[in-house]
Structure 1
């Protein structure tokens, strides 16, 4: 595995470690400001990955799928970051601390609308990630060096289309509670 692939893995691990530390600091240690600070470090992790990827490519590395996944990761992290932290926060409070309300389980049109909001976040993630990929393609300006990015853009476009199909299907065949 190359350097960038390891950095993506390291950033993903750091992302969840920082969230875990932020939640523990915030709720167990009752240090709300420090917990919020730790949770906000997820943005710094994303920026570090972007800088490392850019430097590697600028220094002449041929773009690999790992470089492209860095852009995908950044787009997803920015678009879904707040909702992922909120999702984790709710479950940590309920399942670990035994506080708060049980996380909501959605069905029917409520689930379909919630999934639609997630699809719009996916579009935002795609816009950010694809924008980074296209920006790097033009910045490097050497098609042989950035061929992997075109494959990632095509693949992600297909995934976005499949996600749209699932979104539409949730309105046609609404999700039902288990056992109904």
Structure 2
């Protein structure tokens, strides 16, 4: 049952997002669009309630419950930026808005962007693992919740791998800053006095 609710929530996310953007830009009903877009997190609440009742009814926590917790964490943290991404593109295409913003490719802006995305991943980890741990404590039956520990390990591994990108961005940003400073000093030395 939970897997079906997850699929329904994911489909619902895109339907509500499309309806909100269509109301805002195609129908010119900005307030209705805002209400629809604000309703997107309600899908997470539906999923959380469904997971709670499924476990309360005696179900053994499985992959679907782990996926539900991860989905909730991801959509709460990354959902607003996905909505902004879609909104930028919709506005550009249908409302003569400016071209969509693109993530920076290099320099300090790229470094800040990657650290911000990693920070969002950390918040996702806290929410998802917090929900997983809450389920483990709530059910209080290791035989029924053993599978959820593997989700916590997987999320932790993912976070450990994700940190590579901001570190690489920081190193490449520092290298460019150093070479710009060194290059500037070399030009000063070569300049005739």
TM-score, length-normalised on structure 1?
A: 0.91
TM-superposed CA distance for 1:173, in Å, is: 3.2
CA distance in 2, matches of 1:111, 1:98: 29
Superposition RMSD on alpha carbons, in Å?
A: 1.4
Which residue in the other structure is 2:42 paired with?
44
Which residue in the other structure is 1:134 paired with?
133
CA distance in 2, matches of 1:11, 1:32: 24
CA distance in 2, matches of 1:130, 1:156: 8
TM-superposed CA distance for 1:71, in Å, is: 0.6
Unaligned runs of 5+ in 2: 174-193
Number of corresponding residues: 172
TM-superposed CA distance for 1:87, in Å, is: 1.0
Higher helix share: 2
**Contact map agreement 2:88 2:101 (CA 8 A) in 1:** no
CA distance in 1, matches of 2:33, 2:149: 39
Q: Secondary structure at the match of 1:100?
A: coil
Which residue in the other structure is 1:61 paired with?
59
What does 1:97-136 align with in structure 2 at a 5 Å threshold?
97=94, 99-105=96-102, 106-108=104-106, 109-136=108-135
Which residue in the other structure is 2:161 paired with?
162
Unaligned runs of 5+ in 1: 175-180
Extract structure 1 runs of 4+ deviating beyond 3 A.
none
Q: Tell me the alpha carbon deviations over residues 86-113 of structure 1, each in whole angstroms, 9 at most, x when there is no partner.
A: 111001112x316222122312121221
